[in-house]
Structure 1
Amino acid sequence: MDTKDKILKENLMKRKTDIAYLTDLFTKFNMVNLQLQGDSSNLIKTKFILSAFLSRVKLMKQNIGRGEFSQFPNLSQTSCQEDDVSTYVQHLNALYSDFKSRFEDILTMVIPPWIINPYGDIEETNVIIQEELTELSTNEDLRFSLKTDISNSGCKTTYPLLIPYYGI
């Protein structure tokens, strides 16, 4: 490349840290994307995955701002200038804000306590579905399947009043 296009080589060398940063960041995007795929995906799992990703972006922004690049393995192998660090912090800040506004509906979604712990207190639940939740809380046959996957546990047919309220 030295003899063919010296300008291209110089530009690539100038942007080596940018390429390393974006490579590391897109690796993280791909990991989140893979977690969101599959038959077992649901809104609750999606909320937890997106919340965790936003927390990691916030942490990455703090760490990279103070020169800690361990979350960016490719970037840590380059010599990063202060201007580049500032640009990456701004980018991560914008990314955080964009994700937070784009997925606001999922991130602010209220997950009823009985979905997380169907065997917990039902008194704070809507009166209309308390009867079904009372039965659900004592149903030992469903206890095992609820631990593994609520969407395939039989709740949809056994407790139909829960569907309109919580969209299981």
Structure 2
Amino acid sequence: MALDGLDHMELEESKGGSGLRQYYLSKIEELQLTVNEKSQNLRRLQAQRNELNAKVRLLREELQLLQEQGSYVGEVVRAMDKKKVLVKVTPNCRVALRNDSYTLHKILPNKVDPLVSLMMVEKVPDSTYEMIGGLDKQIKEIKEVIELPVKHPELFEALGIAQPKVEWST
């Protein structure tokens, strides 16, 4: 006849009760390990929650800044005193004004078209075709497409091809 858990405990209890005590001590130890694991998991999750809450707070602040209305740009006409100026709403000396109170809050740099600033060459390169290695095919294409129409327009006129409008400065 097989002994189930209850019969086993009765058998141990009849042997002096130390078996039941051991059983409960092992169960207590098991449950304490489970509680410790759950506590560690809880602390990890709380730290993760705090980190995510901090990110949410930063994102809300950023969103609020993005939703603020923009500023107007105005031209300083005349300085009234140290902290007040008369401003005209056309650019020359550019300043940023608060949208609600029209108070000056930032002096802006002179207006420069960003496309123009991207096209400006700050330093003229002193490279020649001879300095470029391994690009013979590309150099040949550049010479055919850009230099040839400028240096020998008669070739293109004879073929009836319109040459590109390029100003060549040497």
**TM-score where L is the length of structure 1:** 0.22
User: Which structure dedicates a bigger proportion of its chain to strand?
Assistant: 2
Larger relative contact order (Cα-Cα within 8 Å, sequence gap ≥ 6): 1
User: Which structure dedicates a bigger proportion of its chain to helix?
Assistant: 1
For the pair shown, the structure with the greater C-alpha radius of gyration is: 2
**TM-score where L is the length of structure 2:** 0.22
